Structure 1
């Protein structure tokens, strides 16, 4: 069992067993002091009794834990939720009790799919804090309204996050992710790695001298130039010979010119450039020229090709 702070139990599924309900806590548990038994308060009992109608007292014996802590309720691709749906399919579940409906899903469309599964297997659904259940038409209407609000809040939050990222990038701020060859991250900012920066500068100069990425790839391999090595615990990644794709990505990366890219535009970055403006411009012009040459060559080859299904007349 894992703790997530002082939170109420968010999702429980129940299986009838005489005058008791045997169930599993799903998604979150109360805290690390939780034991294997939960005594529910009267409001919860009333909500459950509305569906099962058989309990004078109700105690849940926890037979297993399902924890999707840290995963967004905006997706159904959550391990514990998928196991729950599997148990429903195997007829192991009679009633699902949630602390709050958006703990199960925040998407109205996703919940509609889940409700279809519930109905197909005779599973009832109760939200403890929102006092409704899916056994009545009014309960379903209330549920749809609550889910619509939850989905709206999720979308608004997403828009705010996207707006914040866009505003930060327009200010030239690094917004995270693995730093490219030539840079490290310190205090959430890009700083030049002097040793790697020399390699980046050499690759740009070699490209101008050799004239194409294929030759650059072979020369880089000949000189033992490899991709950025990254350390994560005991695991090391990178440090491999450059592919053509790697090199195209490197040569097109505006970070090296001191710029921050965002949606097809670039903004002056708060980090130090590795490539001077003249070299950057020359490389971009050569890349564009080579791309145009390749396209023209492909078009010329296509002119002489006969359309499929055409044959010379032999009459």
Structure 2
């Protein structure tokens, strides 16, 4: 009787994944990626009796961090797995695949869905066994902890470098180049750019304002710092605006100082701006900023702050003042014109007092005209109905999704499948149900709030009843609050000198509650 032939084991196609966080040393003939692959190939060869075969495709991510999945070789590996071309993934160490516990869980979910096993050469475990999965999660937790510790060390190292006056990296600035030939990068003076920097400081002292400097730089065709990254990509080279000029003038690098948080330290690089000139510029910047921004808006009670919008570039118009002799003139000016000049947004500044009076008069007209009040009511109800319809439609979609999840959970529970794939799928379904329930609660809450904020003709009449007397009795702060309750957006059409005002759909209801509060429980109504 002849013996039955030995059954050959099924072929297990093994893909080898390698990764190194930094590009340093990758130019060597036999680098870290080659070493990882060599170890993995030897391990696969030791399992040849089990049918293991190393695939020739290389999945090497050189110079990519393991803290995320934005890696080209990782993307190719996952694509080939989903295409059914891989049976097993082999790595030198677990953290080569990922240093993030969350990302690793996602990768393992993909492996399980495609029945792909995972092997680490140095940790000696296989995810097809429960003990291997447990050990893997423990090891990855330590890998993530190590990554966080490394982050803390890097931050401490940067702080230490700056305290010693060393340049610790970042975006290069106009006037300096980065010399990377030594053991650590250094700032070296770019003679041509340094001339431009000194001229910009001089311009500001001559012109006494940022915007004329911006205009002059645009006329000269001067641009911000342009540099090339290690990968060869060109960065920077933008046109100057008010913010970038201000940043340049405030930068202590130009007087040979390195900044770390609120302190500066003597740097190793050469200063290119005289300290007296720098101090004079700082004094002028401080003087010009005194009383600007929120302080001016508060001092002069800008009623339309955050409400008036430039119709040309859709930017908010900022409240500012101009002084002539003892008189103060208030304006609203587009942010683009302030930052980059009127060449970039020619929309004119608007007189603040006249704009504020026009908006208040518009509301006063609504208060005194029953037809206008009905128009406002109809428009607000139409908008509210549209928003409510969208929320109701979203609610129906979420309920249907949750029903499908519950049906699949019930079906899988009835099958009593205890494989790891089934268990993970059930866990995913339960997570989806919980997520849908949270979103559904938010949608229902928004819908209920919208229903509560709907108002009737009685509400609008109550909100605008005796508007003049109420408005005159309010403080300026209270007037600003009332306008922000009622008005969402204000635009001025310079062609026909008209104002378009968009009201908050829920503002009238809120204003009614503000001006006509409900009586306390212990009060009696007459």
Q: Which residue of 2 aligns with 1:260?
A: 258
Q: Would you say the 8 A contact 2:9–2:49 is kept in 1?
A: no
The DSSP-based 3-state class of the residue aligned with 1:173 is coil
Q: Which residue of 2 aligns with 1:8?
A: none
CA spacing shift, 1:241–1:120, aligned 2, 3 Å: closer
Match of 2:215 among 215, 218, 240: 218
Question: 2: CA distance between counterparts of 1:215 and 1:284?
Answer: 17
Number of residue equivalences: 285
Match of 1:133 among 111, 118, 126: 126
Deviations 1:117-153 (A, max 9, x none): 2233332222232122222332222111111222222
State the 1:172 CA deviation: 1.0
Q: Which residue of 2 aligns with 1:65?
A: 58
Q: Which residue of 2 aligns with 1:247?
A: 245
Deviations 1:95-122 (A, max 9, x none): 2222211111112222122222223333
Q: Which residue of 2 aligns with 1:313?
A: 367
Map 1:102-251 to 2 at 5 A: 102-177=95-170, 179-186=172-179, 187=182, 188-228=185-225, 230=227, 241-251=239-249
State the 1:248 CA deviation: 2.3
Q: Would you say the 8 A contact 1:26–1:66 is kept in 2?
A: yes
Q: Does 1:19 align with 2:15?
A: no
Deviations 1:187-245 (A, max 9, x none): 53323334432321111121122122221011123344443454789987766653334
Q: Would you say the 8 A contact 2:126–2:132 is kept in 1?
A: yes
Q: Which residue of 1 aligns with 2:34?
A: 30
State the 1:39 CA deviation: 6.2
The DSSP-based 3-state class of the residue aligned with 1:27 is strand
CA RMSD of aligned residues (A): 3.5
Question: 1: CA distance between counterparts of 2:83 and 2:106?
Answer: 17
Match of 1:98 among 88, 91, 98: 91
Question: 1: CA distance between counterparts of 2:132 and 2:71?
Answer: 26
TM-score normalised to the size of structure 1? 0.75
The DSSP-based 3-state class of the residue aligned with 1:30 is helix
State the 1:272 CA deviation: 2.4
The DSSP-based 3-state class of the residue aligned with 2:187 is strand
Match of 1:277 among 267, 275, 278: 275
Q: Which residue of 2 aligns with 1:48?
A: none
Q: Would you say the 8 A contact 1:40–1:58 is kept in 2?
A: no
Question: 1: CA distance between counterparts of 2:295 and 2:165?
Answer: 37
Q: Which residue of 2 aligns with 1:7?
A: none
Q: Would you say the 8 A contact 2:94–2:120 is kept in 1?
A: yes
Q: Would you say the 8 A contact 1:22–1:63 is kept in 2?
A: no
**Structure 1 alignment gaps of length 5 or more:** 1-16, 46-54
Question: 1: CA distance between counterparts of 2:163 and 2:139?
Answer: 36
CA spacing shift, 1:230–1:86, aligned 2, 3 Å: closer
Normalized per residue, the structure richer in helix is 2
Q: Would you say the 8 A contact 1:39–1:60 is kept in 2?
A: no
TM-score normalised to the size of structure 2? 0.48
Q: Would you say the 8 A contact 1:23–1:63 is kept in 2?
A: no
Question: 1: CA distance between counterparts of 2:242 and 2:90?
Answer: 54
CA spacing shift, 1:259–1:67, aligned 2, 3 Å: same
CA spacing shift, 1:84–1:301, aligned 2, 3 Å: farther
Q: Larger relative contact order (C-alpha < 8 A, sep ≥ 6)?
A: 1
> Which stretch has the larger CA shift, 266-275 or 20-29?
20-29
Q: Does 1:286 align with 2:284?
A: yes
CA spacing shift, 1:238–1:141, aligned 2, 3 Å: closer
CA spacing shift, 1:276–1:39, aligned 2, 3 Å: closer
Q: Would you say the 8 A contact 1:183–1:191 is kept in 2?
A: yes
Question: 1: CA distance between counterparts of 2:237 and 2:287?
Answer: 30
